[in-house]
Amino acid sequence: MKEIIDVYDENKQKTGKTILRGKERLQKGEYVLATKAIFVNSKKQILISKRSDAKPKNPGLWEIGAGGCSLTGETSLQAIIREIKEELGLDLNNKKGIFFKGYKDDHIFFDIWLYNIDVKISDLNFSDNEVVDAKWVEIDEYMNLHNQAMLANYKAFEYQDYDKCMKLLFKN
């Protein structure tokens, strides 16, 4: 499937330009919008997913939740709902996401969304072959994967983010 993506300027404003994902290079000062989801369950564990070995970027590494690029015309919330459905088989339309943080890295603006959700790993569906496994982990195991260089996209959820997420979700 061809993915057409909006191009943004350095102020995160759409330029009116679009590109075909993976086929066109961004110029200096051009960015795309990508999303990631942080899932925390009632046990205060974090959901991580394992990227397919076939992925060109960070193959076989674990990462926080799932996510991807926003397609033309999508908001970051619409993009994360679509991406999670594609990658994990979860329908987030009736779940309240909390915008957690944003950051810029290389030619990408990342919007990070936070969800409080209890789901069994056996209920996930990895139908698009981008994700091959998932598991719930404690913050210590998450950091251990980071320290062993087995974790992709650490900026999306750094160690200091854990307490802030817990306060947002559990009000304590």
> In this predicted model, what pLDDT tens digit does every residue of 83-125 receive, in sequence order?
999 999 999 988 889 999 999 988 999 999 999 999 999 999 9
pTM over 0.85? The answer is yes
Full domain range(s) for residue 42:
4-170
Domain count, the chain: 1
Backbone angles phi, psi at 64, to 5 degrees: -65, 130
For the record, the structure tokens of 37 come out as 């989801």
Residue located via tokens 């397919």: 52
Contact 117, 41 (CB under 8 A): yes
CA–CA dist 3, 97 (Å, integer): 24
Helices (H) and strands (E) in the chain, counts: 3, 10
pLDDT digits 0-9 by tens, 22-73: 888 899 999 999 999 999 999 999 999 999 999 888 999 999 988 899 999 9
Q: Which helix (H) or strand (E) segment is 15 a member of?
A: strand 14-20
Residue 137 tokens, joined: 């982990």
Residues 76 and 50: their CA atoms lie apart, in Å, by 22
- Domain with residue 118: its CATH number is 3.90.79.10
